[in-house]
Chains A and B, each alone.
Chain A
Amino acid sequence: MSEIDLSTKKRQAPIGVAILFLLNLRKAVNLFIPFLFLKYGAGSSLLGISLYAIGIILFLGFIAFSYFEYKNFFFYAVEDKFIIERGVFRKDKTTIPFERIQTVHTAQNLAQQLFKVVGLKIDTAGSADNEIEIPALDRSYARSLQEYLLKKKEKDQKQQSEPGEEETTAQPEVESWEKPILKLSIKDLLKVGLTENHLRSGLILFAVVNGYIWQFEEFLLEPFEPYLEEAEGWLTQWVLLLPFTIIVFIVVSVAFSLIRIVLRYFNLQFFLNERGLVLKSGLLKRNEFHVPRNKIQYFKWSSNPLRKLLGFKTFVVKQAGVNENREDKRTVSVPGCKNKQLIDVLQEFYPERYTGKFHRLGSHKLLFFQRFIWLVMMPSIIVTASFYASELTWHYFAPIPLFVLLGGFWAHKFQRSVQFRTNGEVIEIKKGWIFPSHLSITMYKLQNVSLKRSIFQRRRGLSTLVFFTAAGDESMPHLSHNDAIDIYNFVLYKIESSQKSWM
């Protein structure tokens, strides 16, 4: 790898102008849309300027803006810091000490693939939005820069921990190795896509489309206006339309999940190496994640009824700094894992998991009552009351007992599925009947613990435990209070007596 020199200010690859322009294009289009509306929606004359002129002005403006953005984008290194300067109107200077760099990964979206450049993303310790991107670099240069930053980072972190020793004991070369875990074939990819939670995909799509589409409300509803005016009997029409709507929804949802999965996980390669864990995937936008060993906080895997049949699990690596529990772009998740692949990874990173016997604890019936009352009874009562108030016929009430019965069954199954287990080194929590999820944490990776106890729990001698990690928290509800206290004390003892660093 050629050594690179960052002592002077560096710019991106010249083609970066085009990349930046494409990145800005969305902003330009968003700016243009209101004019379209003014012209066609509100019939405004736009001060006599033609729409084309506005378009051309915006276009040229954004080209100029992109050019200056490129011109003003510098990166360089001063002493032990990496610095990025950017901004056209408001200049920003971001300083990253090498030791605070967490990971450096490269990504390529469609535009970047087209112009044969890659984006370099630098992740720093701290909150979720601390990610900095250099959007356009030559592939080989990006590689060298990535290598350079990671090397610098390791050296600086070493110096910090053992000052004075760094020169004499040259970094012991860790032998480099690579162990492939999973390569997703096209067939498996399609299976994963077809067994995706389509309801969720459908709802995501619906939310996105819904948010966007109502900007054009006037145009959309216009053709339906005559029907909407005869509002009488709209309910029967709606009922007739419902099966049709459902079919459309299903088809669109399945198609959408397939597309999403293929785009995201095409040619997925998941492997381990001496540094940690690597995941490469993506069709139009190729993502490469390198998760260093110490950044891994815990593992979580989940499934759904269809995938259970195929033996597929989605494996998620929870890493420090990606703190949100919501879906994050940087979440490393590997779909289509079989049990064997899961065990391979866990054995590599959590050898403790395979020592000793596990002790299991369940969650108290209170969980069933809570779920049943809040998620089944409450909605049923509200729906019944509103049906009663609007004096509907008995047909409408008929499905309610069925819902209560099914809901009760689900709540029961859910409560039974919640399980805590530990072998004294690893904590594992299992939850979920229809969508089972499972997580595994070694105790030294924990930050701290919390014990919660409401008056309802106190009466039954129960407590809930919350385990905090640097990648989010996980809870185990309604353990018996004595067990909870034992685990609490034990976990504290393990954290306090461990010499291993959580990161």
Chain B
Amino acid sequence: MEFTNQNIELSTLPEVEDSDFHGLEKDYLYMRLTAWGIFFFITGLVFSIWSLLGSFTWWHWLAPWAALLTFILFVEIKGFRIKGYSIREKDISYKSGLIFFSMTSIPFNRIQHCEVGQGPLGRAFDLAAVKVYTAGGSSSDIIIRGLQEERAQKLRDYITKLSADYE
């Protein structure tokens, strides 16, 4: 496709390329797997007790439970490599999603504010999330989870400084 009325060539425009993206901390994958582990452990335990009491046939829940477990392991491990963020001179991008891929870029001159958040599991793994907000409503925001806390703080300060230049 061409934009012939422009005095710039499309091919000369900077592209958001895969190679620019940084992956997330490996610990973030382990954190997610831990969260899922807790979920599967608890559901497994509840169903087991149920079955031991004799009111639930084992394979009735064990088959879908195991299938879901395998599926989630697959999506998490395979999908982890897709998650990543990229910071260029004038914008920040985040991508994720194995089955439903999504990539969002926010120019620094449109950032409303930026903050660091950390949940209880995140604290245990020393991981934090950087949240970048625009005026475009919640679906347009970027949340980069799975950064070392110190790095997240630095990133936040960096983004805040860059976006402040535009105000």
- A488 to B91 alpha-carbon distance, docked (Å): 13
- A489 to B93 alpha-carbon distance, docked (Å): 12
Q: Is the CB of A452 within 8 A of B13?
A: no
- A355 to B3 alpha-carbon distance, docked (Å): 12
Please name all residues of chain B whose beta carbon is closer than 8 Å to the beta carbon of A357 when the two chains form the complex: 4-5
- A495 to B136 alpha-carbon distance, docked (Å): 14
Q: Is the CB of A448 within 8 A of B105?
A: yes
**A490-B137 contact, Cβ under 8 Å, with A447-B110, A454-B99, A454-B100:** no
Contact with A along B141-152 (1 / 0, CB 8 A): 000000000000
Please name all residues of chain A whose beta carbon is closer than 8 Å to the beta carbon of B1 when the two chains form the complex: 359, 361, 482-483, 486-487
Please name all residues of chain B whose beta carbon is closer than 8 Å to the beta carbon of A230 when the two chains form the complex: none
Please name all residues of chain B whose beta carbon is closer than 8 Å to the beta carbon of A437 when the two chains form the complex: none
Using C-beta atoms within 8 Å of the partner chain, give the interface range for chain A: 35 or more
CB distance from B14 to the nearest CB of A (A): 7
- A458 to B103 alpha-carbon distance, docked (Å): 14
- A487 to B1 alpha-carbon distance, docked (Å): 9
Please name all residues of chain B whose beta carbon is closer than 8 Å to the beta carbon of A422 when the two chains form the complex: 3
Q: Is the CB of B102 within 8 A of A489?
A: no
Please name all residues of chain A whose beta carbon is closer than 8 Å to the beta carbon of B99 when the two chains form the complex: 454-455
Count how many chain B residues have C-beta atoms less than 8 Å from C-beta atoms of the other chain: 33
Q: Is the CB of A359 within 8 A of B3?
A: yes
Q: Is the CB of B101 within 8 A of A452?
A: yes
CB distance from A501 to the nearest CB of B (A): 9
CB distance from A428 to the nearest CB of B (A): 14
Within 8 A of A (CB), among B32-82: none
Within 8 A of B (CB), among A430-450: 446-450
Stretch of A41-49, A73-81, A114-122, A466-474 at the chain-chain interface: A466-474
Flag whether A423 is at the interface (Cβ < 8 A): yes
- A406 to B72 alpha-carbon distance, docked (Å): 40
- A452 to B108 alpha-carbon distance, docked (Å): 21
Give the most central of B13, B139, B140: most A CB within 10 Å: B140
- A359 to B104 alpha-carbon distance, docked (Å): 24
**A495-B107 contact, Cβ under 8 Å, with A447-B136, A448-B140, A452-B101:** yes
Flag whether B153 is at the interface (Cβ < 8 A): no
Q: Is the CB of A490 within 8 A of B13?
A: yes
Give the most central of A451, A454, A482: most B CB within 10 Å: A451
Q: Which of A359, A458, A468, A490 contacts B134 (CB 8 A)?
A: A468
Q: Is the CB of B101 within 8 A of A448?
A: no
Please name all residues of chain A whose beta carbon is closer than 8 Å to the beta carbon of B8 when the two chains form the complex: 493
In the complex, residue of chain B having the shortest beta-carbon distance to the beta carbon of A470: B135
Within 8 A of B (CB), among A90-147: none
Flag whether A243 is at the interface (Cβ < 8 A): no
Flag whether A15 is at the interface (Cβ < 8 A): no
Within 8 A of B (CB), among A354-368: 355-357, 359, 361
In the complex, residue of chain A having the shortest beta-carbon distance to the beta carbon of B110: A447
Please name all residues of chain A whose beta carbon is closer than 8 Å to the beta carbon of B6 when the two chains form the complex: 424
Flag whether B165 is at the interface (Cβ < 8 A): no
Please name all residues of chain A whose beta carbon is closer than 8 Å to the beta carbon of B16 when the two chains form the complex: 485, 488-489, 492
CB distance from A2 to the nearest CB of B (A): 36
- A330 to B32 alpha-carbon distance, docked (Å): 43
CB distance from B88 to the nearest CB of A (A): 9
Number of A-B contacts (CB under 8 A): 105
Q: Is the CB of A447 within 8 A of B140?
A: yes
Please name all residues of chain A whose beta carbon is closer than 8 Å to the beta carbon of B3 when the two chains form the complex: 359, 422-424, 490
Q: Is the CB of A473 within 8 A of B109?
A: no
Q: Is the CB of A450 within 8 A of B5?
A: no
Q: Which of A359, A423, A502 contacts B110 (CB 8 A)?
A: A502
Flag whether B164 is at the interface (Cβ < 8 A): no
Flag whether B10 is at the interface (Cβ < 8 A): yes
- A495 to B91 alpha-carbon distance, docked (Å): 10
CB distance from A136 to the nearest CB of B (A): 33
Q: Is the CB of B5 within 8 A of A323?
A: no
Q: Which of B5, B10, B103, B136 contacts A469 (CB 8 A)?
A: B136
CB distance from A466 to the nearest CB of B (A): 8
Q: Is the CB of A424 within 8 A of B5?
A: yes
Flag whether A371 is at the interface (Cβ < 8 A): no
In the complex, residue of chain A having the shortest beta-carbon distance to the beta carbon of B92: A448
Please name all residues of chain A whose beta carbon is closer than 8 Å to the beta carbon of B100 when the two chains form the complex: 452-455
Flag whether A496 is at the interface (Cβ < 8 A): yes
**A447-B101 contact, Cβ under 8 Å, with A490-B10, A495-B110:** no
Q: Which of B102, B108, B110, B135 contacts A451 (CB 8 A)?
A: B102
- A422 to B1 alpha-carbon distance, docked (Å): 11
CB distance from B116 to the nearest CB of A (A): 20
Please name all residues of chain A whose beta carbon is closer than 8 Å to the beta carbon of B2 when the two chains form the complex: 359
- A204 to B54 alpha-carbon distance, docked (Å): 51
In the complex, residue of chain A having the shortest beta-carbon distance to the beta carbon of B109: A496
Q: Is the CB of B5 within 8 A of A449?
A: no
**A453-B102 contact, Cβ under 8 Å, with A424-B3, A447-B110, A489-B13:** yes
Q: Is the CB of A468 within 8 A of B103?
A: no
- A355 to B107 alpha-carbon distance, docked (Å): 25
Q: Is the CB of A468 within 8 A of B140?
A: yes
Q: Is the CB of A468 within 8 A of B136?
A: yes
A357-B5, A447-B140 known, 10 other contacts, Cβ within 8 Å: A355-B5, A424-B5, A450-B103, A450-B140, A451-B104, A455-B99, A466-B139, A469-B136, A473-B139, A482-B1
Q: Sorted from nearest, which 8 A-B pairs have the closest CB atoms?
A: A468-B136, A356-B5, A447-B136, A468-B140, A470-B135, A450-B104, A453-B101, A496-B90
Query: Can you give 16 contacting A-B residue pairs, CB < 8 Å?
Result: A447-B110, A447-B134, A452-B102, A453-B100, A453-B101, A454-B100, A454-B101, A473-B137, A486-B1, A486-B10, A489-B13, A490-B10, A492-B90, A492-B107, A496-B107, A502-B135
